[in-house]
Structure formats: structure tokens, C-alpha cells
């Protein structure tokens, strides 16, 4: 009799585990919706790194993006994108710049040191490190404003032509 109870208990546990597994899996094609380990994440583009509503606003202005590799000085950061948005057909110098790139801790530290050695001002935030152009060396900024700024985080770096512009960069890889 003991063997029968044990067999019944084991069958009940297996049935319950199977039912739980089916319930947690959602729709029958839930696996098809999940990326597999072999899939590469999509590469960032000028449109995908920014808020969609902001891309729409720029497009409505007749602006488009000139895309190039992400750079910090002469150092290219692989896998990233740097974009200059403007009315590229008119030849005006009115434009905005945004960028994003994946970065590991060693390269981030190296590039932060590079920027500081070249006169950029470091600001340590709670979750981010910001490096911005020295406002004393730039004539177009008013007091309290930030020019071109890099935002370093765990695994990525973003760029905008102003510190507040970094809020528009939403890509996180």
C-alpha cells in the first residue's frame, strides 16, 4: 500500500508541475516570440537610439540623420552609432548630435581618462559618469549650461550635443 501512495503522490506532483509549466508558458508560440541565444541583438541606428516621438518631430521639420561610427576623439567605439540630425539638403549649420555605443568597463575607464586629459569636465552621478566640454573654453555656453556631453553607464556610453539632450537617447542595447 505504501508503494501505491508514493506512486500516486509522485504522479500528482508531476501532473501539477506539468500544469504549472503549461500555465507559465503563455501562448503556444511563446517560445517563438523570445529571442534565442544565437540571435544577435539589432545594431543601433539614428532612429532607434532616440525616442520615436522625437524622431517624428525631427522628420516633420524636414530633418534627416547623417550616420557614422561612434567616436570619442580619434577613438572609434565598435558597435555604436553617432548621428548628426539636421536639414542636410540646405547646407545650414543648424543641427543636433546624438550617439550610443556598447562599451566594456576597461574601455570606458580608458576613454574617460582620455577625455579628462583633454580638458573635459567630469561629473559623477549616482548611476552615470558625465564628461562634458569645459564651459570655460567654449564661448557659446551661458553659465550653468552644458555643451557636448558623454554619459557613461554600465555597458554603454551615450552622446548628445547638450547634457539635457541625453534624455532623448533611449537605446540601451
Torsion of CA 94, 144, 100, 102, to 10 degrees: 160
pLDDT along the chain (173 residues), means of 10: 36 32 32 38 90 94 94 96 88 86 97 96 94 79 81 96 93 73
Verify that 121 and 156 share a domain, yes or no: yes
Verify that 109 and 164 share a domain, yes or no: yes
Residue 153 inside a domain? The answer is: yes
Range of the domain at 155: 52-168
Verify that 58 and 17 share a domain, yes or no: no
What pLDDT is recorded for position 35?
Answer: 33
Verify that 64 and 126 share a domain, yes or no: yes
Which cell is 1 given? 500500500
What pLDDT is recorded for position 4?
Answer: 37
What pLDDT is recorded for position 60?
Answer: 94
Rounded CA-CA distance 33/51 in Å is: 24
Backbone phi, psi, residue 167, to 5°: -65, -20
Which of 164, 168, 148 has its CA nearest to residue 71? 148
Q: Say which residues have a Cβ less than 8 Å from residue 95's Cβ, sequence separation at least 6.
A: 84, 85, 86
Q: Do the Cβ atoms of 121 and 137 come closer than 8 Å? A: no
Residue where the block lists cell 537617447:
169
What pLDDT is recorded for position 28?
Answer: 32
Label the pairing between strands 81-86 and 95-102: antiparallel
Q: Say which residues have a Cβ less than 8 Å from residue 55's Cβ, sequence separation at least 6.
A: 47
Verify that 86 and 23 share a domain, yes or no: no
Residue 99 inside a domain? The answer is: yes
Domains contained in the chain, number = 2
Amino acid at each position: 500500500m505504501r508503494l501505491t501512495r508514493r506512486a500516486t503522490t509522485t504522479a500528482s506532483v508531476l501532473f501539477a508541475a506539468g500544469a504549472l509549466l503549461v500555465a507559465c508558458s503563455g501562448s503556444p508560440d511563446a517560445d517563438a516570440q523570445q529571442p534565442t541565444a544565437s540571435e544577435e541583438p539589432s545594431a543601433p541606428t539614428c532612429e532607434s537610439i532616440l525616442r520615436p516621438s522625437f524622431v517624428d518631430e525631427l522628420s516633420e521639420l524636414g530633418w534627416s540623420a547623417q550616420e557614422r561610427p561612434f567616436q570619442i576623439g580619434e577613438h572609434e567605439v565598435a558597435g555604436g552609432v553617432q548621428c548628426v540630425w539636421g536639414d542636410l539638403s540646405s547646407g545650414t549649420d543648424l543641427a543636433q548630435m546624438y550617439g550610443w555605443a556598447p562599451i566594456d568597463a576597461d574601455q570606458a575607464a580608458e576613454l574617460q581618462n582620455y577625455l579628462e586629459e583633454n580638458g573635459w569636465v567630469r561629473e559623477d552621478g549616482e548611476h552615470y559618469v558625465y564628461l562634458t566640454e569645459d564651459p570655460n573654453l567654449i564661448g557659446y555656453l551661458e553659465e550653468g549650461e552644458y555643451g557636448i556631453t558623454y554619459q557613461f553607464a554600465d555597458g554603454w556610453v551615450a552622446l548628445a550635443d547638450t547634457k539635457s539632450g541625453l534624455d532623448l537617447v533611449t537605446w540601451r542595447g
